[in-house]
Structure 1
Amino acid sequence: MAETKKYVRIKKASVDGVWYADKIGNVYEVDRENCVSILTKRGIRGLSSVLREDVEIFVTEKRPAKVGERVLITVAAPIGKQAYETGDIFVAESLYDPFTKDIRVLGMPDFIDYNEYEVIVNNEVKNEEADGMKIDLNAMGDREIYAHGEAVMEAIKKRMFQAGFRAAKQAHRKLAGMNSKKSTQARRDEIVEQAKADVEKLANKYGYYYAYGRNPKAEFIVNCEKRTVVTILRWIADGQIVARGIAKAAPSDCFNVHIGRAIALRRALGLTVPDEYLNAPQPTEVRVGDVVRGKYADYYYQLCREGELGDDSYEAKIREIADGKYRYVGGGYDFIDDADLTIIDDSREEVGE
């Protein structure tokens, strides 16, 4: 009697985080199973469980294939230019060698060794067909219906566990995202305050350069349009320029005048610029006083492409955040839930920050 085995092909991963989420299409031999899950052999990794609803099951026999039968490649060892892998399925075209039991299959130019394949005798479960299956409870005997009921309850428990697991994962990811945004914005706020204190300490006459005796004075030239800050150091006595320093925000960075002043002043004084100034995290929370870049609504896009607007984006300063809207200086607003805004300047000097 031919040896019978079972294999599963991974069709989907209905639960986030399962080991086979990135193994869709792979085939594994079955060790044992129940009504909910199947324990598979993963080679050196040992045994691993998969959900029955996530797989297609093949029943195979180890024997020479007959013409027209389907074969499952279980140990791929292609010859020459042939290209196939473990898990591929072919239809037997002829018995290539009765002694070696090698076969030819449709689509391959050379034979397939007997050691490479097993004959598929049944697809025990196929997800696409299972959806249409009907169960006739009235036709079942007492034992069968009790057993079926236990299996159903077990499946319900498993499904509830999966649903709870998915909900917990989603809640965890959402919370982690919120915490990440908060911590990123909080870190930027700390760096801005540090920069303000740094400038206050180094720029006034009782600060770093008072020891020179002639009291160098720091002047700042801010160009928000060019996103630059220039520091000029002059002697108070005669106005002579002692040194210059410049800071310029990268095109992809949010401009902040306080961080810019600290960088430019330190460069003018020949001091090291802290890494947190140069690599400050980008803001994640839109606030009153921020300058933002947004996108025009869909019905403007055609006009933009035809050159009537010139660009499909706009820049505006936040005047008020209330009633689910970002209201802009000069008029106009965006709904908070639908807004796709990028903060390009969070200096907020005019709002006391």
Structure 2
Amino acid sequence: MTQPIYKTEKRKARVGERILITNVNVMENRYKNGAVLLVGSLRGDGAVYDDLGRLVYLEEYEVIVGEHTPASNLDEMDCDELIALSEAVMKALRTRSYKLGYDQGRLEAPKSDQQKRDEIVAQAKEDVETLKMRNRLSKAFNIEIVVNSESRSVEATAKVPNSRKSFYGIAKCAPDDCFNVHIGKAIALRRALGLEVPSEYLNVPQPTEVRVGDVVEYTTYRGRKSTFKVERVENGKAYKDTVSGTYVRLNAGRYHGYPATDTKTIDDSRAGEDE
């Protein structure tokens, strides 16, 4: 089978990146030149430990930043390779067809800010679970994530096992932004692990819809700020509870018959909700 060609950079690797062994130490026999390893943890001087716990020195590797597989010579391929190639081609065609249809749909119906935010929140949830899973496999760190709802912040700690060494990452919501714990966890954990934070996490659109489980803030007719957790949304009203019937009228900015202004969602984490 045709081997991929890697594009590399000569620099210090970060956790989660792949490295290509290009100059194996003469004293090492645990891997060979051309081996591709996954970085599980860092030693601090450019040396890294792979996901199997093997030490790799800085001068031995380059960081993989891209790859491509050259076109295969069909005459030299056996039956199994031809089958694998045909399946890969069909998969690529299906993916391309889906993307073309998806792109066409985007042109016909641009996504709303709420749809974009929903997708980024879903991405952040998956991101956190993926990073945790990789860490469990590599056993590089003991990870702890602490959420402070009052300060609207998240702190992640990545502690090196059997060591006093720890790495920290903090995500704090801006005063005028809506707090979302899932995005905060993804940002804090990536910072603790020394990984790049995707720009969409830092520039996520604000919510435009109010949903059950959201925390809504509004200004009462007396000029005071007040908040409550939404238990029900119905006919343009966000209800505080079903017993007193207290609500904010979303489309008119009124609070239970009295004037209210600046209605907005300040926390759409919906902790404990299905979403």
> Taking structure 2 as the reference length, what is the TM-score of the superposition?
0.52
Q: How far apart are 1:241 and its partner, in Å?
A: 5.3
Q: Structure 2: 5+ residue runs without aligned partners?
A: 1-108, 254-260
- Residues 241, 342 of structure 1: CA spacing in aligned structure 2 closer, same or farther, 3 A cutoff? farther
SS in 1 for 2:147: strand
SS in 1 for 2:231: strand
- Residues 280, 323 of structure 1: CA spacing in aligned structure 2 closer, same or farther, 3 A cutoff? closer
Q: Could you report, residue by residue, the CA deviation over 1:246-268 in whole angstroms, capped at 9, with x for unpaired residues?
A: 00011111110000000000000
Aligned to 1:349: 271
Aligned to 1:319: 231
Decide which structure has the larger Cα Rg and report it.
1
- Aligned match for 1:226, one of 151, 170, 185: 151
Say how many residue pairs are matched: 157
Letter in 2 for 1:220: I
CA distance in 2 between counterparts of 1:342 and 1:241 reads: 42
Q: Structure 1: 5+ residue runs without aligned partners?
A: 1-178, 302-311
- Aligned match for 1:185, one of 114, 127, 130: 114
CA distance in 1 between counterparts of 2:181 and 2:247 reads: 25
Q: Could you report, residue by residue, the CA deviation over 1:259-279 in whole angstroms, capped at 9, with x for unpaired residues?
A: 000000000000000100011
- Aligned match for 1:277, one of 186, 201, 213: 201
CA distance in 1 between counterparts of 2:165 and 2:212 reads: 37
Aligned to 1:263: 187
CA distance in 1 between counterparts of 2:135 and 2:146 reads: 20
Q: Could you report, residue by residue, the CA deviation over 1:137-193 in whole angstroms, capped at 9, with x for unpaired residues?
A: xxxxxxxxxxxxxxxxxxxxxxxxxxxxxxxxxxxxxxxxxx87x611100111000
CA distance in 2 between counterparts of 1:239 and 1:229 reads: 24
SS in 1 for 2:230: strand
The answer to whether the aligner puts 1:216 opposite 2:138 as a matched pair is: no
> Taking structure 1 as the reference length, what is the TM-score of the superposition?
0.41
Aligned counterparts, 1:1-353, within 5 A:
183-204=112-133, 207-208=134-135, 210-211=137-138, 214-235=139-160, 238=162, 240=164, 242-297=166-221, 300-301=222-223, 312-329=224-241, 331=244, 332-339=246-253, 340=261, 341-353=263-275
Q: How far apart are 1:337 and its partner, in Å?
A: 2.7
Q: How far apart are 1:335 and its partner, in Å?
A: 2.3
CA distance in 2 between counterparts of 1:289 and 1:218 reads: 28
SS in 2 for 1:281: coil
